[in-house]
Amino acid sequence: MNATMGTLSDAATGVAGRADAMDGLRIRNFSGTVGEVTVANPRMRTRGVDVYYGDKHAIKNVTLDIGSNEVIAMIGPSGCGKSTFLRCLNRMNDTVEGCRVTGHITLDDKDVYDRQMDPVVLRAQVGMVFQKPNPFPKPIYDNIAYGPRIHGIAASRAELDEIVESSLRRAGLWDEVKDRLDQPGTGLSGGQQQRLCIARAIAVSPEVILMDEPCSALDPIATAKIEELIDELRQNYTICIVTHSMQQAARVSQRTAYFHLGDLIEVGETTQIFTNPRHKLTEDYITGRFG
């Protein structure tokens, strides 16, 4: 771990290109990220993570803590690697051909990329919600019950019923679908489908929920509902959300991380990032000069 934590001089040589933008700022690690990358009570920690797609270096030396019961937003222009980073956290990148991940990622101090770690078990602990709602073409009930059934979480049908109901309640969908649990999940509206996907992720009781632009395919009203839901879910879960909407990041998150071309440029309290960005690139992005 110490090897990845660099010194000031490392940072100066590693990121000479933007030395001018960093004048007078405190640089915490050798990847050159501005701001506080660690937190007091981390749920997940990443240290010096690099991701390659074949020859393409998609994520460069990212070090970041994700605190318990916080919502952390990842923002940045398209192709900056924020979704790739998110998919490292539950090893979804394993399914991508030619993808290679180096560095350390831990969940509750257990190495996620360790040989001993079963990605199947990991993904039950680190759930994921995708950009486009992707309910299974199965009844709503079976959509929710899918995860619990696979992991043998429910001992009886009654218990399973309870998990389905509580998951749907937590996702704020219960009242809308309780009379049609036997109808296909694909028949719901876009916003309902996305909440169904969130309920499906909750049903296996994960610790962390990763959300990859969960509202980009939804209308403003459905988006508002999801955002409300994210805020409620923070009581019980740690949430990492990738978003293209800076307003959304500002509304739902406590911390914000700004990615640029595979580098983690700046991390900080959301209010600080949006009111007083310290890095020139962050400022340019949130003031809408590019992205």
Partner 1 sequence: MSTPLLIAALLVLTAVAYVLGRRRSVAVSAGAGGIRNLHSLPSYYGSYAALWCLIPALLVLALWVAFRSTIVTELVVRDLPQEMQQLGPDRLGLVLNDVRNLTSGNVVSREVTPELRAAADHLKSLERTSAAAMAVVVLSLGVIGGGLAWRQISPRLRARNRVEAIVNVLLIVASLIAIFTTVGIVLSVLFESILFFRTVPMTSFLFGLDWSPQIALRADQAGSSGAFGAVPLFTGTLLISGIAMLVAVPIGLMAAIYLSEYASREFRAVAKPVLEVLAGIPTVVYGFFAALTVAPLVRDAGVALGLEVASESALAAGLVMGIMIIPFVSSLSDDVINAVPQSMRDASYALGATQSETVRQVVLPAALPGIVGSILLAVSRAIGETMIVVMAAGLSAKLTANPLDSVTTVTVQIVTLLVGDQEFDSPKTLAAFALGLVLFVVTLGLNVIALHVVRKYREQYE
Applying CB under 8 A, the residues found at the interface with partner 1 are 90, 92, 95, 97, 120-124, 127-128, 130, 132, 134-138, 146-147, 150-151, 186, 197, 200-201, 204
CB of 137 to partner 1, least distance (A): 5
Q: Identify which of residues 210 and 230 has a Cβ nearer to partner 1 in the complex.
A: 210
Q: How big is the CA angle at 202 (ends 174 and 162), to the nearest 5 degrees? A: 55
Q: How many CA atoms lie within 13 A of 81 on its CB side?
A: 25
CB of 44 to partner 1, least distance (A): 16
Q: Identify which of residues 201 and 246 has a Cβ nearer to partner 1 in the complex.
A: 201
Q: Identify which of residues 18 and 138 has a Cβ nearer to partner 1 in the complex.
A: 138
Q: Identify which of residues 166 and 186 has a Cβ nearer to partner 1 in the complex.
A: 186
CB of 213 to partner 1, least distance (A): 13
The side-by-side arrangement of strands in the sheet containing 56-67 is 56-67, 42-53, 99-107, 110-111
Whole-number Å distance between alpha carbons of 73 and 16: 27
CB of 42 to partner 1, least distance (A): 22
Q: For residue 218, give the nearest of 199, 236, 244 by alpha carbon.
A: 244
CB of 147 to partner 1, least distance (A): 4
CB of 256 to partner 1, least distance (A): 24
CB of 196 to partner 1, least distance (A): 11
**Residues 6 or more apart whose Cβ sits within 8 Å of residue 15:** 22, 32
Q: Among all chains, which residue has been given the structure tokens 């070090």?
A: 63
CB of 286 to partner 1, least distance (A): 30
Q: Identify which of residues 138 and 280 has a Cβ nearer to partner 1 in the complex.
A: 138
Whole-number Å distance between alpha carbons of 70 and 75: 16
Q: Alpha helix (H) ranges present in 90-154?
A: 119-125, 140-151
Q: Contacts from 147-152 at CB under 8 Å and sequence distance 24+?
A: 147/200, 147/201, 147/203, 147/204, 148/203, 148/204, 151/124, 151/204
CA end-to-end distance (rounded Å), the chain: 33
**3-class DSSP state of 27:** strand
User: Exposed, middle or buried, 147 (CB in 10 Å: 0-12/13-18/19+)?
Assistant: buried
Tokens encoding 17: 């290109």
